[in-house]
Structure 1
Amino acid sequence: MGPLGRVRSFVACLVAVVVAGCSPAFDGVREPVDTTPLTAKQVFGDFSTIDYCGFFELGHSGLDGVRVLDERRDFDDCQLRVENSAGVSADVSIGELADESDSVLPREPDETVNHSRGLRIDRYDDIDPAACVHFLLFPDDISLQITASEEAAAKEDLCSITGVVADGVRRWVESGRPVTRMEFEPNSFGVVDACTTAAEEDVATALGVAAEARVPPSGHWCLWGRFDVQEPSAIVKFSLEDSLQEYADDRSAVIGGRDSVLRVEEPGSCLVLTQHMSAGQIAPGTVEIASVFVREVAAQDACSAARKLANVVWQSLPTG
């Protein structure tokens, strides 16, 4: 086949791709399609440093009509403000990663779409009345959550937006592009594995009952016990948030040598927070926050339990 014949063959294949899909072929040789399972570990490598805002750029218009208006990074996710072609706006969260063996979703998804290389997208309409949730599932049983929420938006619009973003993430995953990373200072909370900040014995002492640790892929939070049942449990979490001055109306205390804030969330539950260093260029205007949250603590005052656990956790954290 001469050069002109090759050009015609390639153009014909491009037309076929648009109409029905085609693997480019030259001189009758079809490009091989990779069908090997694509695991989350292969894609992301170090789960603790993923920049979830790295999937898309501000103003990105390649998401089938969904435009990214604003973004805000956190250790475990990216918060986006998006708008679709009909002018419907929503808050979209990409992240966090979870181990499917710890899933406590109460029912089957509303829709499942299987993709190549073992990838799957599940849609749940009713996890939150004002949100629609998609999960991108990898063959190594790791899932990535994508959520769209907006009180004034119709569920159909939210699910459409989330579906577009989830599929955009899937295409990014399949593209083989390198992962954008967050770079942490040596004394950042970002380098700390939350499950190492307290032993199960410390958690049991605080809660009054034993609670097994559930270890997430990223290490930026740790759950002891279960949140889907009415029993004592605790979470240690690291996040990037506004300064604790926003909590000026809450109780303050020095716990484990750190200035802390306590907030009663609901009967039997209490949240304790402490502030660390500026997030810098990772998320300008925010600071690193460590939090301890306990719930369903009936045998004692919840904030006493939270303080007891925070005293252990805070003393394990980096300073400076």
Structure 2
Amino acid sequence: MAVAMLCALLTAGCAATQAAPEQNSGPTPLTAADALGDFGSVDYCSLLNVPAVAPGAVAVPTFESCHAQAGPRTILVGPLAFDSDPNIKPYDYPGPVPDGVAVQQSMFNDRSACTRAITFADGNRLDLSVTDNGSDQGGRCDVADAAVGSALAAITAHKVGRLTFPDRSWGRVAPCVLLDTHDLDSAAGPGGRPATGLSGHSCIRGKVSLKLTVETAEPAGPSEKLGGRDARVRLAGAFCLVDATQPAPGLPGRRELAEISVVETAGTAGDATCALARTAATSILPRLPTP
């Protein structure tokens, strides 16, 4: 009897300590890092199914976007962003969306552009836009929604492509290194350290910023020598910009672009702002590799 009771107690004890069955944790919210991998080498044109979304378009990968041109219509996939944008609003996107991802619309410039944002679970977003000179906003937005669907399909199928940067390409350059110098103290303003953009191909230090990419349109304006390179200086609202290019290694017929800008925090940029931009360019451009 005592042995039987002992066995019953041991059996009950063993039953009480059995592991509980594993629970299904459900889907994992999709972050931008999980979706895209290394932000610095994403081939954004791999997210755009050109035959389906824009038949006949010519798609050009830059370091942080894909620029597709079909006649007067431009489709832009990218760049990545994290900053808050008050123009972005919810809307009823008609297609499937991965867990943790939201598709939103932007009301900015909505007379000539339809802009969408794919916002991932970590708050990073991928901007997509369709721009032309017509009045058919519905048509533009149909193409924008198709581009969103194309991007999400490539992401969920794990078909995000990678860019490779040949030797001497500006895609290999860490732009913040070029801004971390006392030569730029006057142009950048007092204090502040260089801060890189999400893609790793842009950097800002105070009032000075540097972006490295592949040009999609020839910079306008007369050329002048700055830092030993041909450069163009132009005003754009509160900014004075300096553009310089070189042949893009590995992309015949294309040119890489270094865009240096200085912002006038007090209002519209003018000659004084451009003087600072020229000073920044004279420091930065000689340190970029040549092909």
- Aligned residues of 2:180 and 2:194 also touching (Cα < 8 A): no
Structure 1: distance between partners of 2:178 and 2:56: 36
Pick the aligned partner of 2:209 from 214, 235, 251.
235
Which of 289, 306, 316 aligns to 2:257? It is: 289
Letter in 1 for 2:139: D
The CA deviation at 1:266 is 4.4
For the structure 1 residues 243 and 279, does the alpha-carbon distance in structure 2 shift closer, same or farther, using more than 3 Å as the test?
A: farther
Secondary structure of 2:138 counterpart: helix
Q: 1: distance between equivalents of 2:137 and 2:231?
A: 36
Distance 2:33 2:92 in 1: 22
1:182 aligns with 2:154: no
From 187, 193, 203, the counterpart of 2:174: 193
The 2-side partners of 1:184 and 1:285 are apart by: 16
What do residues 108-139 of structure 1 show as CA deviations (whole Å, max 9, x unaligned)? 51526593321111111334531111011111
Asked if 1:145 corresponds to 2:127, the answer is: yes
Rounded to whole Å, the distance in 2 between the matches of 1:151 and 1:242 is 18
Change (3 A) 1:153 1:127: closer
Where in structure 2 are the equivalents of 1:130-141 lying within 5 Å?
130-141=112-123
Unaligned runs of 5+ in 1: 1-31, 84-88, 226-232
* Larger Cα-atom Rg: 2
Aligned to 1:157: 139
Q: Residue 125 of structure 1 is aligned with which of 94, 97, 107?
A: 107
Q: What is the deviation of 1:185?
A: 1.2
What is the alpha-carbon distance in structure 1 between the residues aligned to residue 122 and residue 90 of structure 2? 22
Alignment check: 8 A CA contact 2:103 2:118 kept = yes
Instruction: Number of aligned residue pairs: give it.
Output: 263
| CA-to-aligned-CA distance 1:6-36 (integer Å, 9 cap, x gap) | xxxxxxxxxxxxxxxxxxxxxxxxxx99611
**TM-score, L = length of structure 1:** 0.71
Contact 1:112 1:123 (C-alpha < 8 Å) held by counterparts: no
Q: Sequence identity, in percent?
A: 24
Q: Deviations over 1:113-172 (max 9, x none)?
A: 593321111111334531111011111221111000011142222122111211221122
Which whole-Å deviations, capped at 9, do the CAs of 1:249-282 have from their partners, x for residues lacking one? 5140231xx313232314763222222333433x
Call closer, same or farther: CA 1:294–1:157 in 2, change over 3 Å: same
**SS of residue matched to 1:42:** helix
Counterpart amino acid of residue 100 in structure 2: G
TM-score (norm 2): 0.78
CA distance in structure 1 between the partners assigned to 2:40 and 2:50 by the alignment: 23
DSSP 3-state at the match of 1:140? coil
Measured after TM superposition, the shift of residue 241 of structure 1 is 2.3
Contact 2:231 2:242 in 1 (8 A): yes
2:262 alignment partner AA = V
2:117 counterpart letter in structure 1: F
Gap change, CA 1:301 and 1:128, over 3 Å in 2: farther
What is the aligned-residue RMSD (CA, Å)?
A: 3.0
Contact 1:90 / 1:153 at 8 angstroms: preserved in 2? no
Gaps of 5+ in 2: 1-23
Q: Which has the higher contact order (CA 8 A, sep 6+)?
A: 2
2:36 pairs with 1:44 = yes
1:45-69 residue CA offsets vs partner (Å, 9 max, x unmatched): 221111111124442x3x5xx5352
State the match for 1:79 in structure 2. Answer: 67
